[in-house]
Amino acid sequence: MTTDEPQSGKLPLGALLALAMTGFICIVTETLPAGLLPEISSGLGISASLAGQMVTVYALGSLLAAIPLTIATQSWRRRTVLLLTVVGFLVFNTLTALSSHYWLTLIARFFAGVSAGLAWSLIAGYARRMVAPQLQGRALAVAMVGTPIALSLGVPLGTWLGGFMGWRMAFGLMSGMTLLLIVWVLIKVPDYPGQSSSQRMALRQVFFTPGVRSVLGVVFTWMLAHNILYTYVAPFVSRAGLADEVGLVLLVFGVAALAGIWITGRLVDRHLRKTVLASLATFAAVSVFFGLFSGSAVAIYLGVFIWGLTFGGAATLLQTALADAAGKGADVALSMNVVVWNSAVAGGGLLGGVLLGQWGVGSFPWVLLILLLLSLFIASRARVHGFAQGDRQSSQVVAGH
């Protein structure tokens, strides 16, 4: 299926769900080792901390590769780039499954992360390109649905399968899913040309486009707050006697996040700014609620559900705002988003670890509140560019490619 014009009138669900599946594979590939550390340690004859570096080098690959690879492939046909990322997962997950050498495994994980970095900078722009402007936000919501599913269901399922059949088979199953995805992409996903040299914008030019820095500032502060809590959710909920129910807590979060994506899909095209501000304000209120009632199991479950609702649509809202602001530089801006988002993930782990060690989990809600108020301040000031007022449909914003 090859076309140069966006479809209109309805969502191409088959194609959008292929993008969602790509995101699902990105997330599960990244986080799978975290649930299989004992098995991997035993299988490769290394310590659990060394096995944990399989997650670190994956993130490093994404961080280092997203911007240069996105710029390098701007002129390539879009489906070729998408297939390149998917084949990357096939090759490097298979290599991870077969490797018996630690350093070879790390190299495979690094290049799997490289594939993810390129994939994340591609998915949002691709989804927007498939539809008319008035459906872009909703299309992106569908394309991003793989992320909360992976976080809430895919990772626990992968961990269970790995424990049941061995960690190598878990990575082998990922390769099998990727083979199916290649066929799916070839059948369902439309192809588009890359950008000509006259259309492409330089990295610096994109970064200084009005609104881009504001959106990236919100991405960093919002995701830093989220990842402090998400990374250390186990010790946080333990205060309420939920140490043995962390899986259930995360399931509640995941289900709420799915609901959040659905709600965002209905609102993003007409009320993007209001939805961003409401999500941030609600998460800030949940932080205060956690600070006051963190010893109550009922309060934790209620707070986690509302937190999940506010987080579910975050990727859709932020990437829509960023692509709108960047215009023809959307793909490059979205590659910056990959770097900033992953930096916030890493920063959440580091800052959360310091807070946990120095002041305990009781400090989390108040640090979250500071970060979310800062995020709200940035978003509220970006009313002309970044998080513009009014209906984004009325401006007929078209993603630049």
d(CA 51, CA 304) in angstroms, rounded, equals: 30
| pLDDT class of 396 with cuts at 50, 70, 90 | very low
Identify the residue with better confidence: 31 or 275.
275
d(CA 328, CA 332) in angstroms, rounded, equals: 9
Written as one string, the DSSP assignment of 296-347 is: -HHHHHHHHHHHHHHHHTHHHHHHHHHHHHHGGGHHHHHHHHHHHHHHHHHH
What's the pLDDT score for residue 75?
86
Q: Which of 75-79, 255-259, 305-309, 395-399 has the lowest mean pLDDT?
A: 395-399
Give the pLDDT confidence of 49-67 residue by residue, as tens digits. 788 788 888 888 988 988 8
The alpha carbon torsion through 56, 108, 315, 356 (nearest 10 deg) reads: -10
What's the pLDDT score for residue 197?
64
| pLDDT class of 275 with cuts at 50, 70, 90 | very high
- The alpha carbons of the chain give a radius of gyration, in whole angstroms, of 20
| 111 in Cβ contact with 60 (< 8 Å) | no
The alpha carbon torsion through 225, 228, 231, 235 (nearest 10 deg) reads: -130
* Orientation of helix 155-165 relative to helix 167-188, angle to 10°: 130
Region of residue 390 (left: phi > 0; alpha: psi -120 to 50; beta: else): left
Per CATH, the number for 13-188 is: 1.20.1250.20
| 130 in Cβ contact with 141 (< 8 Å) | no
pTM of the model: 0.83
3-state secondary structure of 191: strand
The two domains 13-188 and 203-381 share their CATH topology (first three levels equal): yes
What's the pLDDT score for residue 1?
47
Identify the residue with better confidence: 11 or 158.
11
Architecture category of domain 203-381 in CATH? Up-down Bundle (1.20)
Residue 400 has pLDDT above 70, yes or no: no
d(CA 289, CA 161) in angstroms, rounded, equals: 36
Give the pLDDT confidence of 203-214 residue by residue, as tens digits. 788 888 899 999
What's the pLDDT score for residue 157?
75
3-state secondary structure of 2: strand
| 146 in Cβ contact with 23 (< 8 Å) | yes
Residue 379 has pLDDT above 90, yes or no: yes
Q: Domain segments of the chain: what residues?
A: 13-188, 203-381
Residue from 1, 264, 8, 273 nearest 128 by CA: 8
Contacts of residue 198, Cβ cutoff 8 Å, sequence gap at least 6: none
Please give the mean pLDDT across all residues of the chain: 87
Task: Compute the average pLDDT of residues 231-244.
Answer: 85
Task: Compute the average pLDDT of residues 273-288.
Answer: 96
Query: Alpha helices, DSSP H only, in 99-211?
Result: 102-129, 136-143, 146-149, 155-165, 167-188, 203-207
φ, ψ (nearest 5 deg) of residue 2: -130, 130
According to DSSP, residue 387 is labeled: S
